[in-house]
Amino acid sequence: MNVLMFGWEFPPHILGGLGTASYGLTRGLAHQGNVNITFCLPKPWGDEDQSFMKIVGMNTVPVVWRNPDRSYVESRYPWMDASDYYRFRDHIYADFNYIGVDDLGCINFSGRYPDNLQEEINNYSIVAGVVARTEQFDIIHSHDWLTYPAGIHAKQVSGKPLVIHVHATDFDRSRGNVNPTVYAIEKNGMDYADHIMCVSELTRQTVINKYHQDPRKVSTMHNAVEPLPQEIQDIKPIEHPNEKWVTFLGRITMQKGPEYFVEAASMVLNRTHDVRFCMAGNGDMMNDMIRLVAQRGIADRFHFPGFMKGRQVYECLKASDVYVMPSVSEPFGISPLEAMQCMTPTIISKQSGCAEILSKCIKVDYWDIHALSDAIYSICTNRSLYEYLKVEGKKEVDSITWDKVGERILSRYNSLLGR
Amino acid sequence: MKTICLYFEIHQIVHLKRYRFFDIGTDHYYYDDYANEASINHIAENSYIPALKTLIQMAKDSKGYFKVALSLSGVGLEQLEQYAPVVIDLLKELNETGCCEFLAEPYSHGLSSLAENWEDGFREDVMMLCDKIYELFGSRPKVFRNSSLIYDDEIGSVVADMGFKGVLTEGAKHILGWKSPHYLYHCALNPNLKILLRDYKLSDDISLRFSNPSWKSYPLMSGTYVDWIASFPEEEEVINIFMHLCAFGIYQPLSSNILEFMKALPEAARKRGITFSTPSEVVDNYKSIAPLEVAYPMSWVDEERDTSCWLGNVMQREAFDKLYSIGDRVRLCTDRRIRQDWNYLQASNNFRFMTTKNNAVTMDRGIYESPYDAFTNYMNILADFINRVYWAMPADMDIEELNAFQTTIRNQDKEIQSLEKQIARLKASKETKPKAAKQKQAKADSKK
């Protein structure tokens, strides 16, 4: 089976959770065997893992006819097969000179989320037309709203079924104040899709109720995690025998509910003093949080180490005794799974999608600071609860693999294709 | 001759309230009165009252042919006394028919039989209930059944030592193997203690499956049911059917006519020559055929029929160990509220809420959302309780020391009393002496 996928991010150059999820999902699908995936990215860096699929850089696909030397194409994009360039060139379907193309007749992409995002999405969809006319495939799979227009275009060109993957909706990002342009793109994508995969039941309900989709064509496809690489597993946790560390890790924005974490911390610190709180990350609510911490008078026990990446994240998770994610609305939320991989007991809000598949962690309503602080206190004071969540949580998260997700996606493809 | 031994358990826990860690040290009341009242009233109205009325009627109608045994936990009794005293009246009425036997069990409905070095505490727990039963119904139980029918050889030997002549437990497949539960057995460590084994198939037919339309024997008629019993080999004489009294009306709705089924049972049995017996009668009238060795505790709960639903995970064990770690101190306490809280906190249900087992039957965890929630709440309460116990019985003294102090204090009372008496006597004699002297004086004066 040949699958044409449209994505926006891919590791190692990622900006959010979308890239990680796209990678795991494609790999899980490729492991099923007999699945050939062509993954379109706006701007690949050339160091992506291409062992299990083929990456097409949208910035290397010509939309205007040029006639460069083969050697020139090869020198520009050494990581791709130059004959692809000529193959794509044979399928240019309209005159796009007005867009502004480079010397190879390709459109440039930033590959990020720039201010002219709308324009990039549009260009992406134009290029997708060329790709869809060139490649042979049985099914189209679009990841997140940025690539929905491309998916629709490919569907209209080829007549193949379109699957869209909802990693988040604008309702999660904006807490209700939806951007009408984004909503229109999302809704249009869903309307055209033959099948909609959501990362959680929570998201599925949003899709059904807010985007008015037929429940029969919307399914839940929970995310999973990649096993930790050996060098991460080998990190020795920092010892701090006389203190407990409680960690919040993520963007400090309204969506993540940081204020509930601070309030819970202040309740815990009212009673005990051998606990430290750490709020890693940055975001537009960071200054407010610093002010709130000062107001509650707990600044000596509450720390803001700033944005962390790569190895630092795991060092921080491994050193923690409790990981807390009090998100107000989280389509899935992969970080608690990572914390559990690091054997850190985890507290998550019931309003996160990952709560649907996790049972060896404590779940509270994000607004219930009493329950949240009680859970933190309990893990810090009761050894057995700590041990149980640590050991059983690791076991549970180890059984959540992308291969299983790939299997489910493949069977969904098959039923869509009537096989 | 075959005989049916029917036994029902009456127990309801005292529901704990939501207790956060910041309540520790400030709030010493742990119970959700509203939930307790509501649940007891619900159960009494829908189950206990109609079921007991039926049992009374059956006893009266059959003129002594029908017999039944009941066991009541002390905690459950307290709840009934407080919120549904009419159930106690019905129990007394049933007792007056003479067809009913009351069994002994731990007052707390707890796991005191499983705690290490806690034999005295366990005995006390059981004796407390025996006293209560005597107070209410005028006779002392002779047969014992543990909370949730937990039993192993050691428990058997302690119970035998306490003077009970029989014990009820589960006819667990992994203990019995090829043996049949339809005989009387005796404890491997003490042949004087007879063991009655529950036939879980026949018991669950009533308490779990009766109203299930997809069950192949639905609808079950009394005749069919007794036919099953009659069709057992002739040597298999004792059929033990044990369940919660809640089976009528809570597990099985009254609309399933389960009480009609019960009412028809004595007549159906009489026709087939099957009698009814109380556990005491079974113990007296039948002979034990073999010792039963039970090395590890078994119970009537879950598929495993063991203690894993209370003590299966580390959290449950920590809670359990912490609770019994202060047991010795609690026993020295005379404070009524501490003793009462101790009973309520021991109830096995508290531990069951913390189970992480996957069960076919979905569990009602009450106010708790998850095992972790149940554990956290319980540990918060326990932390406060432990503080109170240590406040009354300081942690830096060991038990012997405390004991010595207590004896001194008790003796002090006596000593003071005797000294006071002495003072009174001396005072009295002092008062009488001058009088006597005066009288002498007066006599002497008159002589003059």
How large a percentage of chain B has pLDDT more than 70?
A: 96
Parallel, antiparallel or unpaired: strands B184-187 and B194-198: antiparallel
Distance, in Å, from the CA atom of B171 to the CA atom of B178, rounded to the nearest integer, reads 11
Q: Which of A271, A374, A387 sits opposite B376 (nearest CB)?
A: A374
Chain B residues with CB-CB distance to A385 below 8 A: 315, 318, 372, 375-376, 379
CA distance, residue B313 to nearest chain A CA (Å)? 8
Residue B256 has phi, psi (to 5 degrees) of -80, 5
In a domain, B387, yes or no: yes
Is the confidence at residue B338, as pLDDT, over 60?
Answer: yes
Q: Enter the pTM of the model.
A: 0.85
- Tell me whether residues A382 and B379 touch, CB distance under 8 A: yes
Domain locations in chain A as residue ranges: 2-224+402-416, 230-398
Q: Give yes or no for a contact between B247 and B209, defined as CB atoms under 8 angstroms apart.
A: no
Kindly state the average pLDDT of the residues A246-258: 91
User: Domain ends where: B260, B292, B324?
Assistant: B292
pLDDT, tens digit, 9 for 90 and up, residues A221-245: 999 998 888 998 998 988 888 899 9
B380 & B355 share domain: yes
In the three-class reduction of DSSP (H, G, I as helix; E, B as strand; rest coil), residue A358 is classed as: coil
Distance, in Å, from the CA atom of A400 to the CA atom of A225, rounded to the nearest integer, reads 7
- Provide the pLDDT for residue A33: 86
pLDDT, tens digit, 9 for 90 and up, residues A104-158: 999 999 888 888 889 999 999 999 999 999 999 999 999 999 999 999 999 999 9
Is the confidence at residue A7, as pLDDT, over 70?
Answer: yes
Helices B200-207 and B222-230: crossing angle in degrees, nearest 10, is 180
Is the confidence at residue B406, as pLDDT, over 80?
Answer: no
Task: Give the distance between the most distant pair of CA atoms in chain B.
Answer: 115
Q: Give yes or no for a contact between B288 and B192, defined as CB atoms under 8 angstroms apart.
A: no
Q: Give yes or no for a contact between B52 and B94, defined as CB atoms under 8 angstroms apart.
A: yes
CA distance, residue B306 to nearest chain A CA (Å)? 21
- Provide the pLDDT for residue A173: 79
Tokens 């201010």 belong to A115
B8 & B136 share domain: yes
User: Domain ends where: B348, B372, B392?
Assistant: B392
- Provide the pLDDT for residue B436: 65
Ranges of H-type helices in A141-257:
148-158, 170-174, 180-192, 201-210, 230-233
Q: What is the CATH number of the domain that holds B46?
A: 3.20.110.20
- Tell me whether residues B372 and A374 touch, CB distance under 8 A: no
Kindly state the average pLDDT of the residues B324-350: 91
Is the confidence at residue B375, as pLDDT, over 70?
Answer: yes
In a domain, B236, yes or no: yes
Q: Give yes or no for a contact between A126 and A63, defined as CB atoms under 8 angstroms apart.
A: yes
Domain pair A2-224+402-416 / A230-398, same fold: yes
| CA-based nearest residue in chain A for residue B317 | A384
CB atoms within 10 A of CB B415: 11
Q: Which of B21, B314, B356 sits opposite A374 (nearest CB)?
A: B21
Q: Give yes or no for a contact between A166 and A173, defined as CB atoms under 8 angstroms apart.
A: no
B226 & B350 share domain: no
Q: Give yes or no for a contact between A285 and A252, defined as CB atoms under 8 angstroms apart.
A: yes
- Going by C-beta distance under 8 Å and a sequence separation of 6 or more, which residues neighbour residue B250? B43, B46, B47, B244
Chain B residues with CB-CB distance to A271 below 8 A: 21-22, 24
B210 & B324 share domain: no
Which amino acid is it at B411? N
**Residue A248 forms contact with B (CB below 8 Å):** no
Residue B434: cis peptide before it, omega within 30 degrees of 0: no
Residues 60-99 of A with CB under 8 A from B: none
B136 & B162 share domain: yes
Kindly state the average pLDDT of the residues A205-216: 95
Is the confidence at residue B304, as pLDDT, over 90?
Answer: no
Identify each DSSP E strand in A299-357 by its residue range.
302-306, 322-325, 346-349
DSSP secondary structure code for residue A326 in this structure: -
- Provide the pLDDT for residue B135: 94
- Structure confidence at residue B377 as a pLDDT band (50, 70, 90): very high
pLDDT, tens digit, 9 for 90 and up, residues B415-443: 888 889 999 999 888 877 766 666 667 66
- Tell me whether residues A388 and B317 touch, CB distance under 8 A: no
For B216, counting Cβ atoms within 10 Å of its Cβ (0-12 exposed, 13-18 middle, 19+ buried), the class is: exposed
Q: Which of B21, B22, B314 sits opposite A384 (nearest CB)?
A: B314
- Provide the pLDDT for residue A280: 92
Which amino acid is it at A416? L
Distance, in Å, from the CA atom of A86 to the CA atom of A40, rounded to the nearest integer, reads 17
Superfamily of domain A230-398: Glycogen Phosphorylase B; (3.40.50.2000)
Kindly state the average pLDDT of the residues B206-221: 92
Residue A45 structure tokens: 């860096």
Chain B residues with CB-CB distance to A268 below 8 A: 21
**Mutate which: B357, B363, B368, B372, vs A, most A CBs within 10 A:** B372
Q: Note the Cα B318 to chain centre separation in Å.
A: 23
Return the bridge partners of B292, or none: B187
- Provide the pLDDT for residue B209: 92
Q: Which of A362, A377, A388 sits opposite B314 (nearest CB)?
A: A388
B346 & B448 share domain: no
In the three-class reduction of DSSP (H, G, I as helix; E, B as strand; rest coil), residue A382 is classed as: coil
Is the confidence at residue A399, as pLDDT, over 60?
Answer: yes
Residues 338-397 of A with CB under 8 A from B: 359, 362-363, 370-371, 373-375, 377-378, 381-385, 387-389, 392
Is the confidence at residue B448, as pLDDT, over 60?
Answer: no
Number of structural domains in chain B: 3
Kindly state the average pLDDT of the residues B118-139: 94
Kindly state the average pLDDT of the residues A54-74: 91
Distance, in Å, from the CA atom of A251 to the CA atom of A245, rounded to the nearest integer, reads 19
Q: Which of B22, B318, B369 sits opposite A271 (nearest CB)?
A: B22
**CATH class for the region spanning A2-224+402-416:** alpha beta
- Tell me whether residues A385 and B376 touch, CB distance under 8 A: yes
- Tell me whether residues A378 and B313 touch, CB distance under 8 A: no
- Provide the pLDDT for residue B357: 87
B220 & B277 share domain: yes
| CA-based nearest residue in chain A for residue B371 | A362
Is the confidence at residue B131, as pLDDT, over 80?
Answer: yes
Kindly state the average pLDDT of the residues B100-118: 93
Distance, in Å, from the CA atom of B326 to the CA atom of B336, rounded to the nearest integer, reads 16
Is the confidence at residue A91, as pLDDT, over 70?
Answer: yes
B241 & B284 share domain: yes
Residue B339 structure tokens: 């003793």
- Provide the pLDDT for residue B437: 66
- Structure confidence at residue A362 as a pLDDT band (50, 70, 90): very high
Is the confidence at residue B361, as pLDDT, over 70?
Answer: no
DSSP secondary structure code for residue B177 in this structure: T
Q: Give yes or no for a contact between A203 and A331, defined as CB atoms under 8 angstroms apart.
A: yes
| Residues in B lying within 8 Å of A, measured between beta carbons | 20-22, 24, 313-315, 317-319, 356, 369-370, 372-373, 375-377, 379-380, 383
Tokens 């869509």 belong to A416
- Structure confidence at residue B447 as a pLDDT band (50, 70, 90): low
- Provide the pLDDT for residue B194: 95
- Provide the pLDDT for residue B435: 65
Residue B224 structure tokens: 């069919």
What's the mean per-residue pLDDT of chain B?
91
Residue B183 structure tokens: 């005989």
Residues 268-297 of A with CB under 8 A from B: 268, 270-271
- Tell me whether residues A271 and B379 touch, CB distance under 8 A: no
User: Domain ends where: B292, B320, B353?
Assistant: B292
When computed from its CA atoms, the radius of gyration of chain A, rounded to whole angstroms, is 23
Is the confidence at residue B366, as pLDDT, over 90?
Answer: no
Kindly state the average pLDDT of the residues A53-72: 91
**Mutate which: A246, A378, A386, vs B, most B CBs within 10 A:** A378
Q: Give yes or no for a contact between A252 and A308, defined as CB atoms under 8 angstroms apart.
A: no
Kindly state the average pLDDT of the residues A14-29: 86
pLDDT, tens digit, 9 for 90 and up, residues B65-105: 999 999 999 999 999 999 999 999 999 999 999 999 999 99
ipTM surpasses 0.90 = no
Kindly state the average pLDDT of the residues B240-269: 93
Residue B228 has phi, psi (to 5 degrees) of -55, -45
For A90, counting Cβ atoms within 10 Å of its Cβ (0-12 exposed, 13-18 middle, 19+ buried), the class is: exposed
Distance, in Å, from the CA atom of A398 to the CA atom of B174, rounded to the nearest integer, reads 33
In a domain, B306, yes or no: no
- Tell me whether residues B21 and A377 touch, CB distance under 8 A: yes
Please give the residue range of the domain that contains residue B407. 401-448
